[in-house]
Amino acid sequence: MRSYAAGRAALAVVQLAVLSVLVFVLTSLLPGDAADMRFDETLSPEQVSRLREQLGLDQPALERFLHWFSGVLTGDLGTSLISGGPVSEIVRDSVGATLVLTLATLAVVIPLAVALGILMGTRENGRLDRAITSVTLALSAIPDFVIAVVLVAVFSLKLGWLPATWIGGSLLTSPVLLVLPVTVLLGRTVCLLSRQVRAGTITALNADYVVQARRLGVPRRRLLLRHVLPNAAVPGVQELARTGDTLLGGVLVVEAIFAIPGFATALVDGVETRDIPTVQGLTLVLAVAALLINLGADLVCNRLVPRTELLR
């Protein structure tokens, strides 16, 4: 168990190193740079190249990478080419909204998905199971942005019940701002997770060890909570990484639609203005977050069912 955690953590460190190289390469490959973007065509080529020098864009890629990477290790993500301020500041300013959005969604998704999954799993092929299955299957086929556009049109524009954007509002003063974004994000993630939990429940209910426990006289309620649930959660937790990916994609879309000043908004701005240090910083932070979710999911799985092999 402990050696599993050590091995898995070692892999995460390697992943982190490779990821940072990848992030740098990927963003450096973007054609055009801030010098191109910041000034219009009236500038002479000499002026543009002088500007490049100023911004350090004329140095070889390897040197730029080493400079950037040594900064990353000390927590310095570089300087934004557009605002001139440190990238870490941009990260700090935008992380709050995204974090609140994500955590609020997860706080609803996880209990809901587990409850639905177990409800469906214990009534396999019953009427309730079929009904929920059909709804989740249909719901998971609708892209986030379609749901978002329709919800905004109906509840904000037509009925005027809920605010359509975050502009001028703060979560602390008006949590009602969260209602529409979280509803949009719920859709697909709940569907994905509850299907996994359902499958896990059915597998566990039919497993030899649950049948045997029942035959030894363990009552049904206890059987579900103590014998079935830990095993039923495994496929769900294993799927957490993919759910996380879906959720992150959803957050990007939702932030754009509801004009939430979060990570995604900062990222899209950075990409559009070719502010490479900002893009690198934000991408790296997001990649690290995804990596930690993966690590956490694997460790929880291993704790739940300790025979889980490394990387299988």
Partner 1 sequence: MSPLAKVTGLSATAGSAVLVDGVSFEVFAGEVTALVGASGSGKTTSALALLGESGSGVRLEGDVVVDGEVVVDSNGPTAKAERLRGRAVAYMPQHPGSALNPARRVGATLRELERLHHPGQSVVQDALRGAQVPGNRETLRRFPHQFSGGQRQRVALAQALTCRPKVLVLDEPSTGLDSITRLQLAGELRELAEGGLGILLLSHDLGLVRELATHVVVLNAGQVIAFGGTDVLPSSWEPQSTGTTSAGKPLLQAMNLSASIRPRGRIPVLHDVDLTVDAGNSVGVVGRSGSGKTTLARCLAGLHERSTGQLLLDGEPLPVLRKRTREQNRRVQYVWQEVRGSFDERRPVDQQVARTAQRLRDLPPDQAHAEAVATLARLGVSAMTAARPPSRLSGGELQRAALARAVLAEPDVLICDEITTALDDDGTALVVDLLAELKTRGTALVWIGHDLGLVAAVTDHVLVIDDGRIVEQGPPATVMTAPQHELTRRLVSAARLGRPETPPTPPSDTADTRSEPRR
Partner 2 sequence: MRARIPLAISVVLVVVPLFIALFGPLISVDSNKAGLPYSADGVLGTDGLGRDVLGLLLVGGRTALGMAFGAVLIAYAVGGLIGLVAASTRHRWLDEVLIRPLDVLLPLPSLLVISVVAVGWQASAPAITLAVAMVNVPTVARLVRAAALDAASSPVVEALRMQRESWATIQLGYVGRAVIGPVAADIGTRITLAVFLVASVNFLGLGLSPTASDWAVSVSRNREGLLLQPWSVLAPAILLVSFTLGFNLLADRLVHHTRRLAVSPV
DSSP 174: -
What CA–CA distance (Å, rounded) separates 281 from 288? Answer: 11
Find the shortest distance in angstroms from Cβ 124 to partner 1: 11
Nearer residue to partner 2 within complex by CB, 115 or 135: 135
Instruction: Examine residue 304 and tell whether it contacts partner 1 (CB under 8 A).
Output: yes
- Choices 67-75, 194-202, 207-215, 224-232; region in contact with partner 2 by CB under 8 A: 194-202
Instruction: Examine residue 312 and tell whether it contacts partner 1 (CB under 8 A).
Output: no
Nearer residue to partner 1 within complex by CB, 92 or 222: 222
Backbone angles phi, psi at 79, to 5 degrees: -120, 135
Instruction: Examine residue 232 and tell whether it contacts partner 2 (CB under 8 A).
Output: no
- Other CB atoms closer than 10 Å to residue 44's CB: what's the count? 9
Map residue 258 onto helix, strand or coil.
coil
For tokens 């080419």, the residue is 81
Instruction: Examine residue 11 and tell whether it contacts partner 2 (CB under 8 A).
Output: yes
Alpha helices, DSSP H, located in the chain: 2-28, 34-38, 45-55, 61-73, 87-122, 127-139, 144-151, 179-206, 208-215, 220-222, 229-238, 240-257, 263-272, 276-304
Instruction: Among 173, 307, 311, 312, indicate the residue that binds partner 1 (CB under 8 A).
Output: 307
Residue partners of 276: CB distance under 8 A and separation at least 6: 27, 28, 30, 33, 34, 81
Instruction: Examine residue 216 and tell whether it contacts partner 1 (CB under 8 A).
Output: yes
Instruction: Examine residue 272 and tell whether it contacts partner 2 (CB under 8 A).
Output: yes
For tokens 């992150």, the residue is 248
In the chain, the N- to C-terminal Cα span, in Å, equals 15
Residue 241 touches which of partner 2, partner 1, none (Cβ within 5-8 Å per kind):
partner 2
What CA–CA distance (Å, rounded) separates 289 from 217? Answer: 45
What CA–CA distance (Å, rounded) separates 309 from 138? Answer: 34
Instruction: Among 15, 49, 88, 203, indicate the residue that binds partner 2 (CB under 8 A).
Output: 15
**Conformation bin of residue 259: beta by default, left when phi > 0, alpha when psi is -120 to 50:** left
Residue 298 touches which of partner 2, partner 1, none (Cβ within 5-8 Å per kind):
none
Amino acid, single-letter form, for residue 53: E
Nearer residue to partner 1 within complex by CB, 5 or 218: 218
Instruction: Among 9, 30, 128, 176, indicate the residue that binds partner 2 (CB under 8 A).
Output: 30
DSSP 270: H
Instruction: Among 40, 41, 46, 208, indicate the residue that binds partner 1 (CB under 8 A).
Output: 208
Find the shortest distance in angstroms from Cβ 34 to partner 2: 13
HSE (side-chain half, CA atoms, 13 Å) at 298: 19
What CA–CA distance (Å, rounded) separates 294 from 300? Answer: 10
Instruction: Examine residue 35 and tell whether it contacts partner 2 (CB under 8 A).
Output: no
Residue 45 touches which of partner 2, partner 1, none (Cβ within 5-8 Å per kind):
none
Residue span 221-260 as binding mask against partner 1, x where in contact by CB under 8 A, dash where not = -x---xx--xx--x--------------------------
Site for partner 2, rule CB under 8 A: 11, 14-15, 18-19, 22, 26-27, 29-31, 125, 130, 133-134, 137-138, 140-146, 149-150, 152-153, 157-158, 195, 198-199, 241, 245, 248-249, 252-253, 256, 267-268, 271-272, 279, 283, 286-287, 290-291, 293-294, 311
Site for partner 1, rule CB under 8 A: 208-219, 222, 226-227, 230-231, 234, 304-307
